[in-house]
Structures are given as structure tokens and as C-alpha cells.
């Protein structure tokens, strides 16, 4: 009999956590689970998993805390005889763990970066205490980076018995390289253009150089600010493509840049590694775990970013080779998928 597991995530729009859930559903299907999905709306994720999930709970209530959604989710779990809830993102993590405890089934929480620490601000101490309390209800917590594991133990004080580290991984991308060519170094940024991302700093770092072409893929509240910078400084070497669902053309670029105030272990950077991009990453969260002879970590300051760009260009060939090598060693999902499967099997029985 196929065990029934529910993947719960707050937003369905494309992002790193959504890509993680998509691939986890595919892996779980291949290994004998019936998968269900609960999220806020029909969007990228729901489209990607069509035909791969047995049932879905699509309701905007998951985006904010309410008793009515708690009851709706509990009813869905009971109706479909779900045996395990796998929670992704902060609000979904609250719902999933509380409802699982109420329903007397197990739950797994995947920390895609501890928002209670990185984005809590003045209320971090309170949010950390809530996370600590929720950990008592959680069967297991998957930390996507070694840094997240350390933060969980030292700042949130979660018991080591509840924690396991499995680095984010993906199935290697294999897009065809486009036929267009250029003498410029091709740099790529793929991100939601909103907090905590700082693509504006990357734009500032490129103001006085013409040897690099930056392509920005994504949309968000920062898009207007970035456009204004580009127009005010007549930066013809920077173009914005807007949102592209399922973007995979990393192979057309030399350097992948992610400037951000907080990260877990960014899926977009791992996708870039699989296509031999050199990496230029902010030194936050688990980003240091993605750099080993394949790129540069920078501070979120224009001067540091500019120097990082210079360093990437100076050693571009070696960095590109290093990225693919590191991906194959540590971040190829085919090597780690059985770790997830064994966890799901253990806690769904």
C-alpha cells in the first residue's frame, strides 16, 4: 500500500522552496508514495505537479494564520488519511506542525533558512521561542545547509535529536546553449526582486564598466527602483527580462550573481553550478557552502561586489570548471534522494 504524504507550502509562485517541493513530489512518486499538495493558489507549482499529486488543497488561508484554515486543513488530512505532513516555509510550518499534532500524525519541517533569525528583527527572540516550541511537535527538521543546522542548535536551541542536515540539491539541468554570442562577460541574476534580495547593489557595482552584460530575471517591488537606476545612469549593459517561470538557460551565462541579505542554500545558485557558472554570492546563510574554487563571496557593499566581479573574471575558466565539479560532488539530487525517501518512509509508517 502506498503511504499518503502531504506537502504544505505557503506560496505556489516560483521560488527556491517551490522548486524543492516539486522535485520532492517527483522523487516520492517514484518511490511508492501518494503525494498531496496544500498551497495558496493555482500558480507555477500547481502547474508543475499536475498528474503527480493525488489531491490538492488550494486556499488562500494558508498565507495568514486563522482558525478556519486550521479546521479546513485538519479535515483535508482526515478525509485523505494523510500519514505525514512535510512543511515548507514559515507560516506553512506553523500550520503543518500544529495540525499534524492535532491529527496525531508525524510532521517534518524543512528549514529553507530560518526566517525567525534572519528576518525577525526586533521580534527575533519571540519568533525563535515559537520555533523552539514548534520543534517539540515536529518529528524531524531538515536543515538545507550546515549553517542552518548551526543556527538551529545555537540560536533557536533546538535539540540535536530533532535535526538532520541534507544539503539542497537538484537534478542537473541540461538546456541547449543558444546560438547568440557576445564578446562581453555574461552575468545572470535570477531572483524575486524584493526583500531580502539586493540586486540594486549589483547594478550599482556595474555602473562604471562596459565589459559585463548583466541579465536580470525576476519581478517584484524593487523592479521600479532597479529600472530607475538603469535609466538614470544609461546602463545599456543591463537588461531586465521580468519573470520567466521555469527559467533554465543558465548555460548561456558565465557568472551567476546573487546579492541578498539572507539565504538558506539558494536553489538558483545550485542550478547555475550545474551549468558551469562561476558564482558571485553574498556571504550570508549557507552561501559559503556553495563556494570552493568556483567563485567569490562578497559583502553587501558596492566596492566588495565590484572587487568580486573582477576576481570572477580573472579566474573565470577555473571557476566555471570548479562549479560543475562541486555540483557533481555535493549537490546532485540523484545522490541524496534516498535520504529523503528513507525519512518519509520512517515517519509515514
**Cα separations (Å) of 279 from 34, 170, 282?**
37, 17, 10
What one-character DSSP code corresponds to residue 43?
S
Per residue in 117-158, pLDDT tens? 776 667 889 999 999 999 999 999 999 999 999 999 999 999
For range 225-235, the mean pLDDT? 95
Q: What domains, with CATH codes, occur in the chain? A: 3-171+332-348 (3.40.50.2000), 185-331 (3.40.50.2000)
Confidence class for position 257, pLDDT limits 50, 70, 90:
very high
For range 211-219, the mean pLDDT? 97
Q: Is the pLDDT of residue 181 over 90?
A: no
**For residue 222, how many other CB atoms are within 10 A of its CB?**
18
Angstrom distance (rounded) from CA 92 to CA 64: 9
Average pLDDT, the chain: 95
Taking only Cα atoms into account, the Rg of the chain, rounded to an integer number of angstroms, comes to 20
* DSSP-derived 3-state class of residue 275: coil
Under 8 Å between Cβ of 125 and 101: no
69, 73, 79, 85: CA torsion to nearest 10: 180
**Cα separations (Å) of 246 from 18, 67, 271, 345?**
11, 34, 11, 29
**For residue 176, how many other CB atoms are within 10 A of its CB?**
8
Angstrom distance (rounded) from CA 101 to CA 264: 26
Q: In what order do the strands lie in the sheet with 238-242?
A: 238-242, 212-217, 185-190, 255-258, 278-282, 295-298
For 329: left if phi > 0, alpha if psi spans -120 to 50, otherwise beta; the answer is alpha
Give 285-327 as a DSSP string. Answer: TTGGGG-SSSEEEE-SSHHHHHHHHHHHHHTHHHHHHHHHHHI
* DSSP-derived 3-state class of residue 88: strand
CA angle 16, 175, 21 (to 5 degrees): 25
Among candidate residues 320, 306, 216, the one with its CA nearest the CA of residue 278: 320
Buried/exposed code over 255-270 (b: 16+ C-beta within 10 A; e: otherwise): bbbbbbebbbbbbbbb
Q: Is the pLDDT of residue 180 over 80?
A: no
171 burial class (0-12, 13-18, 19+ CB within 10 angstroms)? middle
Per residue in 1-11, pLDDT tens? 799 999 999 99
pLDDT at 120: 62
Angstrom distance (rounded) from CA 159 to CA 331: 26
Helices (H), the chain: 16-30, 44-48, 67-79, 90-103, 115-118, 124-135, 146-154, 199-205, 223-232, 267-274, 302-314, 316-326, 333-348
Q: What percent of the chain has pLDDT over 70?
A: 98
Residue 70 dihedral angles phi and psi, to the nearest 5°:
-55, -45
Amino acid at each position: 500500500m502506498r503511504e499518503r504524504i502531504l506537502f504544505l507550502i505557503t506560496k505556489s509562485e516560483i521560488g527556491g522552496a517551490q522548486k524543492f517541493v516539486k522535485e520532492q513530489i517527483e522523487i516520492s512518486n517514484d518511490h511508492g508514495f501518494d503525494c498531496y499538495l496544500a498551497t495558496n493558489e493555482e500558480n507555477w507549482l500547481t502547474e508543475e505537479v499536475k498528474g503527480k499529486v493525488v489531491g490538492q488543497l488550494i486556499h488562500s488561508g494558508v498565507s495568514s494564520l486563522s482558525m478556519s484554515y486550521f479546521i479546513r486543513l485538519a479535515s483535508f488530512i482526515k478525509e485523505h488519511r494523510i500519514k505525514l505532513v512535510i512543511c515548507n516555509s514559515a507560516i506553512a510550518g506553523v500550520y503543518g506542525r500544529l495540525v499534524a499534532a492535532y491529527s496525531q500524525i508525524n510532521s517534518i519541517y524543512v528549514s529553507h533558512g530560518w526566517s525567525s533569525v534572519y528576518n525577525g528583527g526586533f521580534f527575533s527572540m519571540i519568533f525563535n521561542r515559537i520555533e523552539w516550541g514548534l520543534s517539540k511537535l515536529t518529528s524531524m527538521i531538515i536543515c538545507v545547509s550546515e549553517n542552518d543546522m548551526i543556527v538551529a542548535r545555537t540560536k533557536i536551541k533546538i535539540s540535536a535529536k530533532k535535526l538532520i542536515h541534507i544539503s539542497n540539491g537538484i537534478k542537473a539541468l541540461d538546456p541547449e546553449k543558444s546560438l547568440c554570442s557576445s564578446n562581453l562577460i555574461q552575468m545572470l541574476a535570477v531572483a524575486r526582486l524584493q526583500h531580502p534580495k539586493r540586486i540594486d547593489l549589483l547594478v550599482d557595482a556595474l555602473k562604471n564598466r562596459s565589459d559585463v552584460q548583466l541579465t536580470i530575471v525576476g519581478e517584484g517591488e524593487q523592479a521600479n527602483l532597479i529600472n530607475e537606476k538603469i535609466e538614470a545612469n544609461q546602463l545599456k549593459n543591463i537588461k531586465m527580462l521580468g519573470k520567466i517561470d521555469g527559467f533554465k538557460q543558465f548555460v548561456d551565462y558565465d557568472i551567476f550573481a546573487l546579492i541578498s541579505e539572507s539565504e538558506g542554500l539558494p536553489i538558483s545558485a545550485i542550478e547555475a553550478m550545474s551549468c558551469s557558472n562561476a558564482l558571485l554570492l553574498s556571504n550570508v546563510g549557507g552561501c559559503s557552502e556553495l563556494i570552493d574554487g568556483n567563485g567569490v563571496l562578497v559583502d553587501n557593499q558596492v566596492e566588495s561586489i565590484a572587487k568580486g566581479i573582477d576576481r570572477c573574471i580573472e579566474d573565470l575558466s577555473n571557476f566555471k570548471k570548479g562549479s560543475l565539479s562541486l555540483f557533481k560532488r555535493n549537490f546532485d539530487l540523484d545522490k541524496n534522494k534516498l535520504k529523503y525517501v528513507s525519512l518519509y518512509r520512517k515517519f509515514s509508517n
